[in-house]
Structure formats: C-alpha cells, structure tokens
Chains A and B, each alone.
Chain A
Amino acid sequence: MGIPAPGDAMYRYIVNRLLLAVPTLAGAAALVFILMRLIPGDICVVRLASGGGTFDPHSVDVCHAELGLDRPMAVQFLDFALGFFRLDFGISMWTGKTVAYEIGARLPISIEVALLATVVAIAFAIPLGTISALKQNSWLDVVVRTVAIAGIATPSFWLGIVVLLVILEVTNKFTGSPWMPPIDYVPLWQDPVRNLAMAFWPAVTVGYRYSAVTMRMTRSAMLEVLREDYIRTARAKGLIDRIVINRHALKNALLPVVTLIGIEFAFLIGGLVVTEQVFNLNGIGRLFVLSVQNQDYTLTQALVMLVVTVFVISNLLVDVLYAWLDPRIRFG
C-alpha cells in the first residue's frame, strides 16, 4: 500500500481520529485516578493485614513511602499522566515489578483467546446468519435463531464451568480417568498442542456468545439488504443466487457486522474476568480484578488506559475497514 501522501483524505482522517483520542485518554486517566482513590482501603494494610497475623505498624509507613502514597495527590496524578504519555506506566504497587512486565506477562493469552474467539465467531456467525436470512421463517431459521438467543442469554462463565464439568465427566466415563485442559500457560511457539489445548475451550465458550450476537446482526442486516432494489435488479438480470449473495448482498450487509466484531473484540481484551478465572487463564481480565481488589492504583490505571486505547484503535480500524468495504464512504 505504501505510506499515504499527506494530502490523502484517509491519512488526514486517521490522524484526526488519533488526535481526538488524546482528550479521550486524558479524560479516562483523570476518571480512573479519582475513582480508584475514592474506594476505601489502603494497599499497604491489605498487603500486611490480610494474612491475619500481626505486623509492625511502622511497616505501613515504610510501605507508603516506598509506593509514593505519602506524596500530594496532584503530584501523584501528574506522575501518572506524564508517565503515560512517555509510555512509562510505573511500578505495580502490589508486586513492585513494572506495570509493563505485569501486563506483558498476561497480554499474550488474552489476545490469543480474543483472536480465537473472533475466528470462531466469524466462522459460525456469518454463514449461519446468512443462511438464516435466506431461509427466513423456515425450520432452519428457527433453529439458528434459537441457538443465537441461547448464546446471548447464557453467561459465558457459566457455560465455561459446564464445559469443564462435561469434559471431566465424559473423559472419566470413557477413559476411566478425568481430563481437564491445562491450567498453566505455555506460549504457542513452545508447545502448540498444549497451548491450544488450554486456549481452545475458553475461545469456544466465549466465541459462542460472540457468534450469537454476530449471527443475529448478520441475519438482520442480510434481510434488509435482500429487500433492496439492486438485489432485485441483479436477480432480474439472471445472475445466479450465489453471486447475488456473495458479491452484492453480503458485502453491504457486513458493514454493521464489522462494527460489532470490532466492539466485541475490544471487549474481549480485559473483559473476560470470570471466564479467565474459570479456566485459570492468566489474562488481563483477571489481572484487572486483582489490581482493583489489591488497590494497586498504578496497575489499575494502566489497565484502564490499555482498554480505552484498545477500544479507540479498534473503532478506528473498523471505520477504516468501512471505507474499504463501501467505496461510497469518504473521509474529508
């Protein structure tokens, strides 16, 4: 593609959107900073007292000084905000390791599950949604719609628990020994089989709900497009159904679906809090909950900013993809 020329409308659009992201991020930064400090509690006390035994009260003061919690609020905020724009997210107040290290250790599995779930969702949702629209009100349509509604209604973490139990019971029944997916992560390049054995089940569990939502949107969008005049014209011209649907209908119907996929994907990064607990995935969602429970301000702030950034970029990519899908859309 090459680097866009400065005068290109798309390039200007992308730059404008990125610049608009700055106040969004600044607002999110301020909000999370304030909200975290409104929650009652003290990370140093939680750290020292939650064991139940005694601890020296001086340890709390030492801890406050170490974490910079004895500094004025304004200084703490400036430190955080300026650090963010320097891409220096600070040190986790709970572990003392860099926030980049803590997030970096958890991001791979979250991205992997999100990608796999997206693949599962697209692989099922678009074909099934299309078929459902084409065979509207047939038994096939009813089945697909029922499956979709069940997917939307079923909490993915509950489904995850059920999936695990079924795996344990079925393997026990047929092999005499219960099996469960691995509970410690290894990277894909180190051991692909073990990695996928771990990631597959949460991806399918999450992907089911994801595909259900996408399936309904695809069906809805297809039904609308199939009623358009140009589709009637295409059919009247004698084009076979496959070409009418794939070349003309689906591409137009995909516009809202692409938006949905983008939003859902962004949610999966950091949003799978309970699912990660169920499958013992060391992901961003679990880290999020932990950082809030531990009142780890720096880590929570960084995670919120990460999620906001993911949403901003994801929405931008979706908008750019729009232009590719629909040449009528112009930026400028």
Chain B
Amino acid sequence: MKARKKLLTMGLGAVAAVAVAALPAGAANTPKRGGILTYMIPADAPPSFDGHRETTYATVHATAPFYSVLIRVNPDNPSSTTDFTCDLCTEMPKPTDGGKTYTFKIRQGVKWHDGSPLTAADVAASWQEIVHPPEGVSSARESYFVMVDKIEAPDATTVVFKLKFATSAFLPALADPYAYIYKKEILDKDPHWYEKNIMGSGPFKFDGYEAGQSIKGVRNPDYYHQGQPYLDGFVGIFAAKESVRVDAIRADRAAMEFRGLPPSSVDQLEKELGDKLSVQRSDWNCGNLVTPNHKKKPFDDARVRRALALAIDSWHDAPALSKIATVHTVAGIVFPGSPLAATKDELQKIAGFWPDINKSRDEAKRLLKEAGAEGLTFTLLNRNVDQPYKYVAIWLIDEWSKIGLKVTQRVLPTGPFFEALRNNDFDVTLDFNCQGVVNPLLDVGKFLPHTVYTENYGNYEDQKEIDMYQAMLHEADPGKVRGEMRAFETYVLDTQTHMIMTPWWYRVIPYRSYVKGWKISPSHYINQDLANVWLDK
C-alpha cells in the first residue's frame, strides 16, 4: 500500500514537472497586478507640468504617466529608432497626397480622468497648441513642425495633419513624448491651465504633488489599453543629489531612476546588491559637441578647427572614458544605430575619426603651422555639470596638448554658461545636443547656423550647409536621404569642421530586479508612462 502511494506520488510529481516544462517561456514573466513603484527623479522640481512648454526631463518623469499621446515609440521595443505605434490612434496611417496628408482614426471610448469622453477635437486642439501656439503661449518644440500646414478634426474620431511638404521627419516628430493630449475645453478657457494642473487620459490619475518633494499617481481604472497599467500607483521622489538616489536604490527606498547613473555608482550598486539589481544599457540620444567660436580668431580658419578635430583619438580613448563617464560610442552626427548613421568605414574617412591617430595628429600640426596657430592658447567654456561634461573636457584638453595646444577650462553654472554663449563670450565651448525620439533629420539641425537653429552658438553663416540640409529634409527616398546625410556630415565635421563630435552619451539604468516590464530607450524622455511596468514581489 505504502509502495503504491509512493509510486503514485512520484508519478504525479513527474506529470507536474512535464506540465511546468510545457508552459510557455513567458509564463514566469506574466505581469502581476498591484504594488506602488517608487522611483527617483534626478531634479529638484519641474518648472511646470506642461509638456508642451518644457524641455526638461523633470517634467516628463513627473507627468508622463498621467497623459496620452497620439503615437509613440513602441513601449515594447523602445530601443528601436523606427518602430512607432499608436497610443490614442487605432492604426498607423499611410500618408496620402504625395506624403503630405496623414489621417489618424482616434480610439473610441477613451475617457478623461474627469470621466468625460476624449474626442478627435481634443487631439487636434492639443496639436494646434504645439504646432501653432496662440499668442502668449509657449511651445518649446514649435520649430520641429515647420512641415505642418494644418491640423483638422473633421469628425469626432478623425484627425488630419496636412503638411507643406512630404518628409520622413514628420512621424518621428509626432511621436514626441512631450506631446501630451490635453482637453480642448480646458485649453479654450485657459491655455496656461496645464502649467500648474494635471488632468489627462493616461494610465495613472493624479493623486498629489508636494512641491519639490514628490508626485503621486494611482491607477486609472478606465485606461484604454486593456489590462494596463499593472501598478496600483507610483511615487516619484525628487532628489537632485546623486548619492541620495544611489543610497535610496541600495536601501530600497526607491526602485530606480530613469535618467541614468555614472559607471562608478552602477559598479557600487552591483557590488552591494548582486542579483537584487538589474541593469539596462543603451546608447543615449545625447552628446557633447566641441563648438569653436567662428567669430574669434583663429577659429574663423577652417584649418585650425580641423586641427582640433584631428587631435582627438576617440577610437582608442572611448573605452577607457566609458569606465568613468557616461559616454561610450564613437559615431558621427547621427545617433549610432539609426539607419542613417555612418558605418565605421564611412566615419573613418572624416577628420577626427581617422584610424591612424599619429597620422591624424601630424596633419593637425601641419594645419596649425600653415594657419600660423602653432602653440595656440585658448579657453574651453564648459557647463558646471560633472557627468559627462567635466570628464570629456579634461580629456579633450589632454588630447589637444598632444598637438602643442595649451587649453584651460572655464566652468560656469547653467545660467551664466548660456549667457556666455549668447554673448559670444568664449573661444571654444563644449556644447551639448540632447534630443528625444531619434529623428536624425531634425536632430542634426543643431549643426545648422544660428540664423536657422538658434541653439547653435558657433557664430557662422553657411548657405551651402543650409541648402544641403533643406534638400535632405525634403527628400522622400530613404536611400537618397542616407547619401545626402553622409555628404552633410562630411561637410559639417570635415570640410568646414563647424563642430566636433565627442563620444555619444551612454545611458545606464540600474534598478531593483523586482521591477519588470520597463525597457530602456535611447532617450530619457521616452517610455515614461509606466503603463507596462509591474512589480515581481
């Protein structure tokens, strides 16, 4: 009898083992509902809650969970630079009218957090505010949408974008994570309302804000993506000081932060937490650019600017730098990994990327001698931010010393830094370019003269460059766009050396292993609505 019982038990166990083995691989990763995600926001407080107005990640990290957008980078594949999916729309439209008209059908049954229905009129009104803001209303990304002519809502479920010209830059621009959809009724009454108030249609409802301290949200039970969000709520705690954020993750006061920590902090957390910590890494759609002031001699001479580029050995130094600074990948002006980015072979033909650094530096010295700028002394203007600005600057100064240049660093806080740039009070500066959705055609706008792109502080005019860019922007054939991008890149970095690339930033996000569902993207602005995040505890 006992033997039969034992045999039966063994048999049942075997059956169970087979049953478990037969389960689909993702069963262990089935999202669990419940729990509060606490995360750190590396800032003191957002200047306002209005995504249309602001450019800081503090606003997005604090408020993205409350809002919907029209389209977005696929949250299940956010590292892709081309995978866009619908949020409020039902399917991604194919453009008509020679690529100049995009017609979006809006989901039905979407509700605002106050219970009223969301319609196409709300979507159109929100986009009107972004693209054609009324007088007195600030829209930080208005210039991203120069291609948009009209936005219409012919009925309650349809939004139509009519463009002035067809361009592949439009859809990535439309996926802007700051493009929150607001309620038309509120915008009509007070277009500034959303600066201080929150009311959206996103996965979480606003539950409280303590100025400079924390922001809270609770699950939206009427969320239109079935089954989501998984979390009961979230708490975002503001903390500008890095050691506080690292200690908070260590002590499990918070599960993570969404911007990125430098290598030393990640190493520390990995050592202390072991398998209680997971880490995701990605190239970051941000980078530092060396910008010579073309109005200051001798930087008005392309030979001198080219010499500065030729002195830098990014290929050899980037791996070492990546151990101490938030930089990693050597690439040209286009985000590495984008289909429009240069290959290594293409890059190595450009000044500053030659494979033979000795030959490169010899050429740099020759150019300096020819331009009468041997032993040049100048100041590098830098922003008072540790990562990676100061590390990159110190490295650059060392690289330039190898061709006989004597460079000192002038570090200023953010306000005086921009003031110095705007007043042309610098020789060479370490500028930065940080974009959201990878949209190379718009992202490389930073390299255009100031008359076209006001955040370019190089003080130069170059109609040929502008013409090259415009041709590229208006080109609909992706194959031709790539060729034109190569020509543009060579012109900007080599022929004229208007600006000099340094290794692209690298985003490293350590987080408590019980956090699931969130995937890293090339931008700290993207994939922040927390709808697909769940806690395995």
Contacts and interface: CB of A to CB of B under 8 A. Distances in A.
Interface of A: 39-43, 45-59, 62-63, 65-66, 94-97, 101-102, 105-106, 161, 164, 168, 172, 177-180, 182-185, 277-280, 282, 286-287, 290, 293-295
A178 B247 CA distance: 9
B214 A184 contact: yes
Given A48-B140, A54-B455, A97-B211, A178 B250 contact: yes
Contacts, number: 173
Interface in B437-463: 442, 445-446, 453-455
A183 B418 CA distance: 32
A135 B433 CA distance: 66
Interface string B203-215: 0000000111110
Contacts of B420: 40
25 contacts: A39-B416, A41-B418, A42-B415, A43-B415, A45-B418, A45-B422, A46-B415, A47-B55, A49-B55, A52-B434, A54-B442, A55-B141, A56-B139, A96-B195, A172-B272, A183-B237, A183-B244, A183-B253, A184-B213, A277-B240, A277-B241, A278-B241, A278-B243, A282-B212, A282-B238
Interface stretch (B27-35, B40-48, B120-128): B40-48
A51 B247 contact: no
Contacts of A95: 45-48, 196, 211
B415 A293 contact: yes
Interface of B: 44-48, 53-57, 136-144, 195-196, 210-214, 235, 237-241, 243-244, 247-248, 250-254, 272, 286, 413-420, 422-423, 432-436, 442, 445-446, 453-455
Contacts of B254: 183
Given A41-B416, A96-B196, A51 B56 contact: yes
A164 B247 contact: yes
Nearest to A61: B138
Given A48-B55, A94-B47, A180-B251, 6 more contacts: A45-B415, A54-B453, A59-B138, A65-B136, A102-B211, A278-B243
A102 B213 CA distance: 11
A63 B53 CA distance: 10
A290 B432 CA distance: 22
B247 A184 contact: no
Contacts of A52: 55, 286, 432-435
Given A65-B136, A180-B253, A41 B141 contact: no
Contacts of B213: 105, 184-185, 282
B138 A63 contact: yes
Contact of B140 (A59, A106, A185, A295): A59
A219 to B, nearest CB: 36
A46 B418 contact: yes
B244 to A, nearest CB: 5
A50 B414 contact: yes
A54 B143 contact: yes
A57 B455 CA distance: 9
B446 to A, nearest CB: 7
| Most A C-beta atoms less than 10 A away, residue of B47, B433, B445 | B47
A293 B57 CA distance: 17
Nearest to B453: A54
In this complex, the member of B237, B423, B453 whose beta carbon has the largest number of chain A beta carbons within 10 angstroms is B237
B414 A106 contact: no
Contact of B141 (A46, A54, A101): A54
A177 B273 CA distance: 10
B251 A55 contact: no
B138 A184 contact: no
Contact of B243 (A50, A105, A161, A286): A161
A272 to B, nearest CB: 14
A147 B330 CA distance: 54
B142 A58 contact: yes
Which 10 A-B pairs have CB atoms at the shortest separation, nearest pair first? Answer: A41-B415, A52-B434, A51-B55, A40-B419, A180-B251, A105-B211, A56-B142, A59-B138, A40-B416, A282-B213
Given A183-B253, A280-B241, A51 B434 contact: yes
B144 A54 contact: yes
A185 B415 contact: no
Given A52-B433, A54-B445, A180 B248 contact: yes
Given A40-B420, A54-B144, A54-B455, A183 B434 contact: no
A184 B212 CA distance: 10
A106 B212 contact: yes
A180 B211 contact: no
B398 to A, nearest CB: 25
A67 to B, nearest CB: 11
A200 to B, nearest CB: 16
Contact of A46 (B196, B211, B414, B445): B414
B435 to A, nearest CB: 5
Nearest to B45: A95
B349 to A, nearest CB: 28
Contacts of B446: 54
A36 to B, nearest CB: 11
Nearest to B244: A280
A64 B54 CA distance: 15
Nearest to B384: A293
A55 B140 contact: yes
Nearest to B135: A62
Contact of A41 (B419, B433, B435, B453): B419
From B241, B250, B251, residue with most partner A Cβ within 10 Å: B251
A42 B416 CA distance: 8
B141 A42 contact: no
A65 B272 CA distance: 51
A277 B247 CA distance: 13
A47 B436 contact: no
B138 A51 contact: no
Nearest to B57: A51
A184 B237 contact: yes
